């Protein structure tokens, strides 16, 4: 609808009340602004498309494309699993991956709705997500066993994987990962999710100062080109339907996990100060401590930084991972 047609519409309804006229004028202004924002977002999206090229392999999973980044070599295969809403898992994990790819094969799987992968309407149950991970790795020619490195919410997925297919998992290295108890009383704010989706889809997100300046950009070692690519992906892959559906289902997914006491997989858990998790810091850390105390073969390292620890304390984390995996190699002999 053009501005001229809006004015004609306003005249045709014959507004007489001054108060009503003010309300209508404000509504007209908002509509014009929104149309302008949507148009600008479309223009910028088309302009950024030349940067939107996968850094990894594009593989077919259930007739859709998933992005899998593979780098380095070694006896251990490290599979990174992103947290909820991380728009570009490959670039988010890249800083830490570069610290590890000389000694290990590093793999970053971008789930549907994330990074360079397609967005789908498939349900986000743990069974479905796990099968997609496994099919993507198989299609990329990466055979286990694996060491899983889940961040945040994907801790639930990693624990489920180790529970259902323990023969495929050599260890879990939690990057401030969530655990079952984290979501025991969790109820998603559907109004907030809906508003977030609206802001992302219309392009209003582009006008929020600093919104795209992730910790990967602030603290990591991404190149200027990679930083620009991260921002471009951010505006296209924020609040996708897959991300929203994962959040809505996370409580049920977490509750489907079994007992930690039966987890035979070695676990190294890096813990943040709890800030930036979306939960009360003390609650977040308590859940992790209670978890690690129940795991038969687990240890925890506390870090004095916020939630995206792999972007901030990547050197220390890489050092501790080397120590942990060296010990595992000795114990396997």
Q: What is the pLDDT of residues 220-256, one digit of tens each?
A: 999 999 999 999 999 999 999 999 999 999 999 999 9
The two tokens of residue 258 are 């079994």
The two tokens of residue 28 are 């007209």
Q: Which of 7-21, 68-82, 104-118 has the lowest mean pLDDT?
A: 7-21
Report, as an integer, the average pLDDT of 128-133: 97
pLDDT at 3: 47
Residue 55 near residue 90 (C-beta atoms within 8 A):
yes
Spacing of C-alpha 151 from chain mean position:
8
pLDDT at 181: 96
Burial 178-202 (b: 16+ CB within 10 A, else e): bbbbbbeeeeeeeeebeebbebbee
pTM across the whole model = 0.88
Give percent above pLDDT 70 in the chain: 93
∠ CA 113-218-110, rounded to 5°: 20
Q: Which of 126-135, 189-198, 242-251, 297-306 has the lowest mean pLDDT?
A: 189-198
Q: Which residue has the tokens 């073969």?
A: 297
Task: Indicate the pLDDT class of residue 42, thresholds 50, 70 and 90.
Answer: confident
Higher pLDDT, 50 or 230: 230
Task: Indicate the pLDDT class of residue 151, thresholds 50, 70 and 90.
Answer: very high
pLDDT at 330: 47
Instruction: Please provide the average confidence, as pLDDT, over all residues in the chain.
Output: 90
pLDDT at 308: 98
Residue 289 near residue 73 (C-beta atoms within 8 A):
no
Q: Is the pLDDT of residue 5 over 70?
A: no
């Amino acid at each position: 609808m053009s501005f001229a047609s809006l004015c004609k519409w306003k005249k045709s309804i014959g507004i007489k009340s001054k108060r009503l006229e003010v309300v209508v004028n404000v509504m007209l202004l908002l509509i014009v602004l929104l149309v302008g924002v949507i148009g600008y977002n479309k223009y910028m999206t088309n302009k950024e498309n030349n940067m939107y090229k996968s850094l990894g392999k594009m593989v077919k999973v259930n007739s859709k494309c998933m992005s899998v980044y593979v780098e380095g070599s070694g006896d251990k295969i490290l599979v990174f699993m992103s947290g909820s809403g991380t728009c570009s898992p490959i670039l988010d994990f890249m800083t830490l991956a570069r610290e590890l790819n000389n000694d290990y094969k590093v793999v970053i799987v971008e789930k549907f709705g994330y990074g360079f992968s397609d967005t789908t309407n498939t349900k986000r149950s743990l069974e479905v997500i796990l099968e997609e991970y496994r099919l993507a790795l198989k299609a990329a020619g990466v055979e286990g066993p694996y060491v899983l490195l889940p961040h945040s919410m994907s801790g639930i997925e990693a624990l489920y994987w180790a529970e259902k297919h323990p023969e495929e998992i050599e260890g879990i290295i939690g990057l401030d990962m969530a655990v079952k108890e984290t979501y025991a009383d969790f109820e998603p704010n559907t109004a907030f999710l809906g508003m977030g989706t609206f802001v992302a889809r219309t392009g209003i997100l582009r006008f929020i100062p600093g919104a795209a300046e992730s910790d990967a950009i602030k603290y990591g070692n991404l190149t200027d080109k990679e930083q620009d690519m991260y921002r471009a992906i951010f505006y296209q892959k924020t609040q996708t339907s897959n991300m929203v559906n994962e959040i809505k289902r996370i409580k049920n997914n977490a509750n489907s996990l079994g007992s930690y006491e039966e987890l035979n997989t070695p676990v190294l858990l890096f813990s943040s100060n709890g800030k930036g998790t979306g939960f009360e810091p003390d609650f977040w850390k308590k859940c992790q401590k209670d978890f690690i105390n129940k795991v038969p073969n687990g240890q925890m390292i506390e870090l004095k930084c916020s939630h995206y620890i792999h972007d901030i304390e990547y050197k220390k984390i890489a050092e501790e991972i080397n120590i942990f995996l060296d010990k595992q190699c000795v114990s396997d002999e």
